[in-house]
Amino acid sequence: QAYVLQNQGDTINLFQFRKPIAYSKTWQWQKSLVDARVAESQLPDCLLLLEHLDVYTLGRGANEANVLSACNNAEIFRVERGGDVTYHGPGQLVGYPILNLNRYRKDLHWYVRMLEQVVIQSIGDFGLHGERIQGLTGVWVQDHKVAAIGISVSKWITMHGFALNVNPDLSAFRNIIPCGINNRPVGSLCQLSSTPIAIQDVRQSVLHHFSKLFGINYNECPLPTLD
């Protein structure tokens, strides 16, 4: 598959949270951003880049049997994205692109492959070879899943996105069957790299490759107050 620039330097709004934030706050904000763009399609696209406090989320088709334990009292949400159950927490870089695919390509498979490609190129900056596995969604390194992807779309406006394990507490994944896949382990960049990797450096690589692949520039915006 060819990965080509789809836009000609459009500018999107970038929101970077520097401290882990509760899942419910950004979930509600994502929904409000999507609703606004469904109503007014000329509004600019957005990218939210952040870490979450400990949380488990189940996609719209998730099997609750894949939640194996009480999850150490962490919050659990069932949400609109595709996919099964996953964990988010500190040390995991999460990206939520709010994109109007009318500006890029109205093809959800293409979009998911593009998010995978952002991750593959970003971790390549740290000497790690990311791979896809036929029939599955996400990115693997040395047969360990390091990135999960789950999206939802309303009137071609995207929501949810990708989660890249830089250095999270991997024991949190023991409470679930991650993404419903019980025969492939979850891993992190720091676990699989021979040298330390800082999440801030991964942020910069992700921003760079997202910009190049989607053909956009950033307008970094002040963060809203989320209740």
Catalytic residues: 179
Measured distance CA(178)–CA(174) in Å, rounded = 8
Residues for the chain: how many in total? Answer: 227
Nearest to 172 by CA among 49, 63, 67: 67
Assess contact for 20 and 53: CB atoms under 8 A.
Answer: yes
Q: Across the strands, what pairs with 14?
A: 47, 220
Tokens standing for residue 115: 């998010």
Side chain identity at 22, as an amino acid letter? A
Assess contact for 163 and 94: CB atoms under 8 A.
Answer: yes
DSSP 59: -
